[in-house]
Amino acid sequence: MQRTTIKQVMSKRQWLGALGAIALFTGGCMSMMKGVPSDLDYSTARATENGAFRLSYKTDPALIPISKLHQWTIHLETPEGKPIDGATITVDGDMPQHGHGLPTRPEVTQNLGNGDYRVEGMKFQMGGWWIVNFGITADGKRDQATFNLMLK
């Protein structure tokens, strides 16, 4: 069977049409992610905003399920890495693109010791870009940390 090359069968008009189509298709694909800043930091450990503490988290299960209650364990320490117990911690989550938050009000339910805290009532109802904010009061200081998550 004889094969004709693209060059042989395409006119100038078709070329331009094809380019337009490429722009459309790639544009369509990009729009899935529209509004999500490209430079988001998705790390799970960070200094709090004013540098008062360091905070990290682990989720159970490790791959965050959608529309399912699950638990997190957070770890709080000084900037030098010394665990902090007895802190008061609030939790909240938001989807910045959609103008809504979590369907739940999660709580820190237990200080597990060694700077670890259990967070119950976490539930994300949809995939996409989420932010989870922790407000921390400890050692006479207040600070907060916000984590970015991209859920599938």
Partner 1 sequence: MNKPLRRLLLLTVAAATPLLAACPAWQPDAWTPEEKEALKSLWIGNLASPPPNPSNRYAQNSEASALGHKLFFDRRLSRNGNVSCATCHQPEKNFTDGLPLAQGIGTTSRKTMTVVGTAYSQWQFWDGRKDSLWSQALGPLENPLEHGTNRMQVVRLAATAYGSEYEALFGPLPDLSDTSRFPEAAGPVEDPTAKANWAQMRAEDRDAVTRAFANLGKAIEAYERKLVPGASRFDQYVQALQRDDREAMRGALSEDEVQGLRLFVGKAQCITCHSGPLFTNNEFHNTGVPARSELSADTGRAQGALQVLADEFNAKSPFSDTQQSADQAHLRFLKTGDHQNLRAFKPPSLRNVARSAPYMHAGQFDTLQQVIAHYEQAPKAPQGHSELTPLHLSSKERDQLERFLRALDGPLSTPAELLAAPQG
Binding region for partner 1 (CB under 8 A): 12, 15, 18-19, 21-22, 25-26, 28-29, 31-32, 66-67, 69, 98-107, 120-121, 123, 125-128, 152
Other beta carbons within 10 angstroms of residue 120's beta carbon come to: 15
Find the shortest distance in angstroms from Cβ 149 to Cu ion.
12
Instruction: Single out the residue of 44, 79, 85, 98 in contact with Cu ion (rule: CB under 5 A).
Output: 98
Nearer to Cu ion, 117 or 147 (CB): 147
Find the shortest distance in angstroms from Cβ 127 to Cu ion.
9
- Distances, alpha carbon 42 to alpha carbons 45, 132, 143, in Å: 9, 11, 19
Please tell me whether residue 95 binds Cu ion under the rule CB under 5 A. Answer: yes
Give the largest CA-CA distance in the chain: 81
Find the shortest distance in angstroms from Cβ 7 to partner 1.
9
Nearer to Cu ion, 75 or 131 (CB): 131
109 closest CA partner among 74, 62, 60: 74
Residue 67 interacts, among Cu ion, partner 1, none and using kind-specific CB cut-offs from 5 to 8 Å, with partner 1
In angstroms, the CA 146 to CA 41 distance is: 10
In angstroms, the CA 35 to CA 62 distance is: 26
Q: Are 80 and 115 spatial neighbours (Cβ–Cβ below 8 Å)?
A: no
Please tell me whether residue 138 binds Cu ion under the rule CB under 5 A. Answer: no
Please tell me whether residue 112 binds Cu ion under the rule CB under 5 A. Answer: no
Beta bridge partners, 133, equal 92, 146
Instruction: Single out the residue of 36, 69, 126, 150 in contact with Cu ion (rule: CB under 5 A).
Output: 126
In angstroms, the CA 97 to CA 102 distance is: 13
Binding site for Cu ion (CB under 5 A): 95, 98, 126
